[in-house]
Amino acid sequence: MYRLFVLRENKSGCGGGHALISLCTLLLCSGIGALAQSTAPALHANAPFSIRATHVLGLPNTKTNCNGTLSTQDNVLRFQQSGKPVAQVDIASVRDVFLGEESMQVGGLPMKIGKAAAPYGGGRVVSLFAHKKYDTLTLEYVDSNGGVHGAIFQLKEGQGELVRNELVARGVSSSSGEDQPTRPSTAEVTRENK
């Protein structure tokens, strides 16, 4: 009897704790909401934005498959390689943004040579695990003569969405910039993971 009573007392004590935890959760949630609200206008306020990316092809006077920093500032999309001149595209000239997904082998040429040199097909086993998913960001823009250009960037998984949102916030049309056409490759990646 006494024991049961003690237990009940403990439960009532826990009820107070629960209330405290729920209050904290409520405060935390409202804090996150406030943070989200405060970051939203920052996008519209033309704040500088930069991210590491690989230029696959398309930008004028820029090497293909080179790493650099993709940034937006003053309504200009810039790609800067270390120690090289900046390639830039006016954001107003960007007509469409498309996001895709690609799975690629990591390590580049040294890794390839190492895998080829590994005995008993060891390189193939390494290949099985040495792949990584990337986001591909495809831009369509027009030059001063109205000619259509395309540029492709490769970003870390999840970062493509950030760049697209940034561009959309700066007025780029995203009506046709959906991921639908990349589905086959995504499906293919999931098959591969199985």
Partner 1 sequence: MRTSRRRLWIIRIAAIVAIAVPGQVLSQTAAVRTSAKSGGSVTHWSVQVDRVEPGDRDIPHAFQVAIYENLVQELNKTKQFTQVLRERDRKASEVPNLLILKTTVVKYAPGSETRRAVTTVSGATKLMVRTQLLTRDGEIVLDRTVNGNVRFFGSNLRATHNLARNIAKAIKQSNLTMVRASYRDTQPPTVNADGTQ
Q: List contacts with partner 1 (CB under 8 A).
A: 56-58, 98, 100, 102-105, 112, 115, 123-124, 127-128, 131, 136, 138, 140, 142-143, 145-152, 180-185, 188-189, 192
Q: Which two tokens stand for residue 185?
A: 């490759």
DSSP reduced 3-state for 88: strand
Q: Please list, in sequence order, all residues whose beta carbon lies within 8 angstroms of the beta carbon of residue 46, skipping any fewer than 6 positions away.
A: 73, 74, 75, 170
CB 130 within 8 A of CB 106: yes
Nearest to partner 1 of 11, 194 (CB atom): 194
Q: How far is the CB of 143 from partner 1 (least distance, A)?
A: 8
The DSSP secondary structure of 121-175, one letter per residue, reads: GHHHHHHHH-EEEEEEEEEEEE-TT--EEEEEEEEETTHHHHHHHHHHHTT---S
CB of 124 to partner 1, least distance (A): 5
Min separation Cβ 90 and partner 1, Å: 16
Q: What is the largest CA-CA distance in the chain?
A: 91
Whole-number minimum distance, CB 48 to partner 1, in Å? 26
Minimum Å gap between C-beta 186 and partner 1 is 9
Least Cβ distance, residue 82 to partner 1 (angstroms)? 23
61 contact partners, CB below 8 Å, separation of at least 6: 85, 87
The smaller minimum CB distance to partner 1, of residues 44 and 112, is found at: 112
Measured from the CB atom, the residue of 74 and 192 that comes closer to partner 1 is 192
Considering the complex, state which of residue 86 and residue 111 has its C-beta at the smaller distance from partner 1: 111
Q: Which two tokens stand for residue 171?
A: 């007025």
Residue 63 token pair: 């090497």
